[in-house]
């Protein structure tokens, strides 16, 4: 087991999301934790089975690669909590705010289905790029 506390974040690769997602995740779960940041463009869409760039036939393999990375975080680092982010203005998942919320709810079901984490939370960056929790 790796040293220290680890938590996991599934985030877009978008540079605008990185620092805020890191701060939000630590604040929500564990300020002293190391955050394993797993990024893909439009990750909320991918995990919901839809994407603006990746074709539908490729999505299952992309999801499996995200799952494999999450498994390393969970089993190798002992992470039990995961945060999933989507954001407005995403080049990989070109939907409006409500679309991201819907995709995040579906993404949460996908990640819960992996059985790797005790707690799965979702949040979206709104049009002002503020992070909003999604229920
Ligand atoms: Zn994005």
CA distance 4 to 78: 9
Distance 115 CA to ligand 1 centre (A): 25
- Is the separation of the CB atoms in 11 and 82 below 8 Å? no
59 CB-side CA count, 13 A: 20
Over residues 18-71, the pLDDT tens digits come to: 999 999 999 999 899 999 999 999 999 999 999 999 999 999 999 999 999 999
Over residues 70-100, the pLDDT tens digits come to: 999 999 999 999 999 999 999 999 999 999 9
Distance 69 CA to ligand 1 centre (A): 19
CA distance 48 to 40: 13
Write down the pTM of the prediction: 0.96
Distance 3 CA to ligand 1 centre (A): 31
Distance 111 CA to ligand 1 centre (A): 19
Distance 62 CA to ligand 1 centre (A): 15
């Amino acid at each position: 087991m790796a040293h220290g506390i680890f938590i996991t974040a599934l985030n877009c690769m978008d540079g605008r999301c990185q620092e805020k997602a890191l701060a939000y995740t630590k604040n929500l779960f564990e300020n002293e934790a190391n955050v394993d940041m797993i990024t893909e463009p439009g990750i909320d869409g991918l995990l919901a089975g839809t994407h603006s760039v990746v074709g539908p036939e490729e999505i299952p393999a992309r999801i499996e690669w995200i799952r494999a990375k999450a498994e390393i975080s969970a089993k190798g680092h002992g992470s039990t909590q995961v945060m999933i982010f989507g954001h407005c203005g995403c080049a990989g998942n070109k939907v409006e705010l409500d679309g991201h919320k819907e995709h995040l709810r579906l993404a949460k079901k996908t990640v819960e289905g992996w059985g790797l984490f005790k707690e799965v939370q979702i949040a979206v960056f709104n049009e002002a790029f503020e992070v909003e929790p999604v229920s």
